[in-house]
Amino acid sequence: MSQSNIVMYMEEELSIEKLNSVLSEFGAKDQISSWGIEKSNSWIWVNYYILKDHDEIRNMWFDISKDKVKNTNLKTALFIQPSKDRNATFLALSFCKEIYSILDKSKDVFIYHGDSGLFVNDEIENLKFKNTQQFYDSRLINDEVIEDIIQCLNEELVGGIECIEEEGGWDGEELQYLDLFKNLFEMREDLKVQSINKSLEEKINHVDELILRLLDIDDEKLLITAGDENRDLPINNWWWHLDKVDSGILKVHIKEGSASYQDQNNDK
């Protein structure tokens, strides 16, 4: 099993009808042996298994769980294979979370991802990303995870800056970059609520400087569009309000970790 694939094991005997309700929501295409789901040129492929009929998938569970989990009453499994681009794992996890939301919570549910580990039940709904390929239980965030998030944000934002400065634009990958920036801003959001030390605070400040630098050279305004669905969040979460930053209405105070309107009489 590839480290990038996700397998979801359920004690519930997930019906095709329930599965189809989520597949339909994601616009899945029936490809005979699997379902394909596409978003912004990223793909995942989903396979459904009844475990009593598929020894290989059932035995995979025993290899994954080993001595960690004793549950042998699992009945169904979903195998999710992401494409190899940077956004596909985000799509795969969002699909898994939607599946989890429709399941009977009195029965065990497990997610295994080779790059991230094994998660069970309510851990699943608390999964967030620490880079584009790995997720974690957000209730267990610590300095090491924060460092990982910062490193990812740095690398991806620098990559975006280099793409514009060296290639002259987004090289025809606007949809993928737009989706990426939405996901990166979610990761930046996770850092907002954390109590952090001065060293990490300085590193986050550098991330914010990169966001503003990229905004300044992004003629396509992808970063602005990435915030369209979150304009209702507070202005101190200014990365969602780059339309106002770009127009000069909103001023970002990086060291203070805040933002304010240029016209203080504007209470919106």
Residue 176 pLDDT exceeds 80: yes
* Residue 118 neighbours by CB distance under 10 Å: 16
Residue 267 has a pLDDT of: 43
Residue 71 has a pLDDT of: 65
Q: Cα–Cα–Cα angle for 213, 218, 223, nearest 5°?
A: 85
Give whole-number Cα distances, 19 to 59, 110, 192, in Å: 23, 16, 35
Share the mean pLDDT of the chain.
93
Residue 19 has a pLDDT of: 97
Residue 21 has a pLDDT of: 97
Residue 146 pLDDT exceeds 70: yes
Residue 265 has a pLDDT of: 44
Residue 268 pLDDT exceeds 60: no
With a CB cutoff of 8 Å and minimum separation 6, the contacts of 73 are 11, 108
Distance CA 147, CA 152 (A): 9
- Residue 82's DSSP bridge partners are 44
Residue 235 has a pLDDT of: 95
CA 150, distance to chain mean position in Å, is: 15
Higher-confidence residue of 68 and 219: namely: 219
Residue 194 has a pLDDT of: 65
Residue 24 has a pLDDT of: 97
* Residue 131 neighbours by CB distance under 10 Å: 19
Choose among 9, 124, 121: nearest CA to 75. 9
Token readout for 203 is: 């590193």
